[in-house]
Structure 1
């Protein structure tokens, strides 16, 4: 199975992922069995073959996201740390920021909220230092969700408003809608 086939199957699996409004908009899968089957297949392939760097980045990122979504945050953390190590070794600034954001989210799902917040802050510091700001809206969004889970509503709302501002500038209606949903959740929680 090549990278294109993995991406195609992942895109189909990604359609089963939704935001759980009853659980702080955490991502969940409506078909966990399909996600597990996909993960097992790709994991076997990963062990059988030497993978190119691009494939490893993609696969580790997918594993990190999907294991988190199906309730295995420790596995997610493991793969995301591997991806982050690759990005650091390759001095890939953009990917360092991306994988820090994903790692922060996995830490949150593992109920390590304070560690997650520190990881989001590290992503923001790195983003500012390296001037890789195209992911700042994601940092604000995920940090806001973490703060929301901790009950820090004013701080969470501030993060969501920052994310919303950036996302409106980007002009991505799907991202704007997800942030507006998070702001609504904050208002309902007050």
Structure 2
């Protein structure tokens, strides 16, 4: 088996690379073509939010093999309105204030387990002005959840159901800067 090429993490204009990003997300998350098309306008809308930014993992000759994007949280955003009640039940709704949200983080399956996801999430949160970060992840044991825990994220709410999804999610939060090491 040939070695995979070196990957560079850098800011990307995700709006202009949306097809590549959605392909990576579909492969990493197992999305159908219909699910991908539902996400297209959502990602465009997210990227227009104040403070939204994205990083890409680029492999030669510049192929997008992973990405992360996020923004300062706003309680008026759809995601916040869905997770607020489950967070409040656990006494954790204060995490919605002064937090940087990791909206999406995906790495192409051929490039997973190489530290790319860790590099993407730590690089983007290192630029955040907020004292903490929050995200949601499918509420099952997975490499993603293990990664988040290793960075200092803890469960704030579990079994959160988003409209149009069948899998429950966990809302996780971590103080910034994220923990380093494995």
Query: Normalising to structure 1: TM-score of the pair?
Result: 0.30
Question: Larger Cα Rg: Structure 1 or Structure 2?
Answer: 1
Which structure has more helix as a fraction of its residues? Answer: 1
